[in-house]
Structure 1
Amino acid sequence: MRVDVPDTPACRRSYEIAAEYHSPSLLNHSVRAYLFAAAYADERGIAFDAELLYVAAMLHDLGLTREFDNHSLGYETAAGHVAWAFAAGAGWPVARRERVAEVIVRHMWAEVDLAEDPEGHLLELSTAMDISGRSTDLIPPAVREETLARYPRLDLAAEFTACVLDQGARKPDSFAAGFVRSGIADRIAANPLNA
């Protein structure tokens, strides 16, 4: 099963931004998030906006970076604001700018309703697969193997754990803090994709 990456100016520019500001581990995570989401959707016949999902996947963790970290907002909310500004620069209408920000914020929810928000559902699912190892058996095996070979995890487990612990400590009311309290560090360490 081959997953196509949408080739639009917004997709190319969002990858450039991710590559500029993310470490190699976080950049590969962003790419895997899209590929896992798209493969899952394609295998199940879920219709989704590929450009919107790709841009959201590339920009969803920008709030973890030093340059875009916000002293009071959760990193997903900060990243959503960056994505809104990016989408404005890309010429997207206001409703589409709001959608990309919404998808990024919702990727931190425990669950996003597929019928209400397919892109948010897919990004929430794929990032949980890649970070905490939830439902990795739902990734088509051929896609999982090829994606991990092309975009290896590198130091993602240690790096992301450090980021979420830092965010949780500084922002006690954030999603990150809730994840820390619920044992995210242990789930990241036990992720079968790390093997």
Structure 2
Amino acid sequence: MTGVFSDIKIPDSKIAREAAELVRQHETEMLFNHSVRVFVFGAMKGVRQNLKFDSELLYVAALFHDLGLIEAYHTDTKRFEVDSADAAREFLRSHGIADLKADLVWEAIALHTTPGIPQYMRPEIALTNAGVLVDVVGIGYDDYTPEQRDAVIAAYPRGDFKNEFIKVQTCSALKKPQTTFGTVNVDYIEDSDHSFRKPNACTRIRNTPWRS
């Protein structure tokens, strides 16, 4: 595992190493590299903003945040974010981590695709979301120097990230389209199937059994 980026060190505790090993067993190189980049970019932002955060918990949240996209952790009824969060919480509890910390990681992962909310929450939650945003859709890209971006990409290459990431997300969303209601995940289905009509909040309200 490479190293140090602008004073951001990849955690090397027993839990951190075992978390990385578990995730690496299941995820492709593309997803694993993305997960580590999420940690580094999130931690860089935390340092830049003088936030106090638990680096190990942020690392575990970043590592596990997409694990629900993998068949071994997929469920038919939960959003992939919740599948990912459940896996992380179970891992931390199995290592004797207190529920308050395990629940914090759960929240960071479960909310990592939710717009407009995580940035107002605890640093580990906000920074997980921030790392995802810059690596996936480029929000905050210019807040990092070219040297910082280049160093992270050299250590954890993107490859054909854009196309491969969309493919993985689409595959997951198509398996359980109802879980994408009200989330960005519905976009993957619409991009793949132009005949798909996403659930509509107004239609759902009008179709309730209430008379008015």
Alignment TM-score, normalising by the size of structure 1: 0.86
* 1:31–1:57 Cα contact (<8 Å) kept: yes
**Does 2:116 correspond to 1:111?**
yes
Supply the distance in 1 between the matched residues of 2:13 and 2:137 (Cα, whole angstroms).
30
Matched, 1:59 2:61: no
Contact 2:170 2:189 in 1 (8 A): no
Contact 1:18 1:58 in 2 (8 A): yes
Q: How far apart are the structure 2 equivalents of 1:148 and 1:185?
A: 30
CA separation of 1:161/1:73 partners in 2, compared to 1, >3 Å: closer, same or farther?
same
Matching residue of 1:15: 20
Work out which of the residue numbers 153, 157, 163 in structure 1 matches 2:158. Answer: 153
After superposition, the C-alpha distances for 1:1-41 in whole angstroms (9 at most, x for unaligned) are: 23112221111111111211110111100110000011111
Compute the displacement of 1:131 (Å).
1.1
Q: Distance in 1 between matches of 2:56 and 2:110?
A: 17
Q: What secondary structure does 1:57 align onto?
A: helix
> 1:178: how far off?
3.4
Q: Who wins on radius of gyration, i.e. which is larger? A: 2
Q: TM-score, normalised by structure 2?
A: 0.80
Give the secondary-structure state (helix, strand or coil) at the position aligned to 1:131: helix
Partner of 1:100: 105
Over residues 134-183 of structure 1, what are the superposed CA-to-partner deviations in whole Å (9 max), with x where a residue is unaligned?
22112233221100111100232222101222233333343587325557
Q: Which has the higher contact order (CA 8 A, sep 6+)?
A: 1
Determine if the alignment matches structure 1 residue 24 to structure 2 residue 29.
yes
Match of 1:193 in 2: none
> Which AA in structure 2 matches 1:130?
D
Letter in 2 for 1:93: A
Q: Contact 2:35–2:62 (CA<8 Å) still a contact in 1?
A: yes
* Paired-residue identity, %: 28
Alpha-carbon distance in structure 2 between the residues aligned to 1:117 and 1:176: 26
CA contact (8 A) 1:103 1:123 kept: yes
Q: Quick check: 1:74–1:167 contact (8 Å CA) kept in 2?
A: no
Runs of 4+ in 1 over 6 A off after TM superposition: 183-186
Question: Which residue of structure 2 lines up, in the alignment, with residue 169 of structure 1?
Answer: 174
Q: How many residues get paired?
A: 186
1:144/1:4 Cα in 2 relative to 1: closer, same or farther (>3 Å)?
Answer: same
Read off the aligned partner of 2:93 and give its amino acid letter.
A
Unmatched 5+ stretches in structure 1? 187-195
- With over 3 angstroms needed to count, the CA separation of the structure-2 counterparts of 1:32 and 1:107, relative to structure 1, is same
Distance 1:150 1:184 in 2: 32
Structure 2, gaps ≥5 residues long: 1-5, 192-212
CA–CA distance in structure 2, aligned partners of residues 155 and 18 of structure 1:
20
Give the CA RMSD over aligned residues. Answer: 2.2
How far is the alpha carbon of 1:115 from its aligned partner? 5.0
Distance 1:4 1:70 in 2: 34
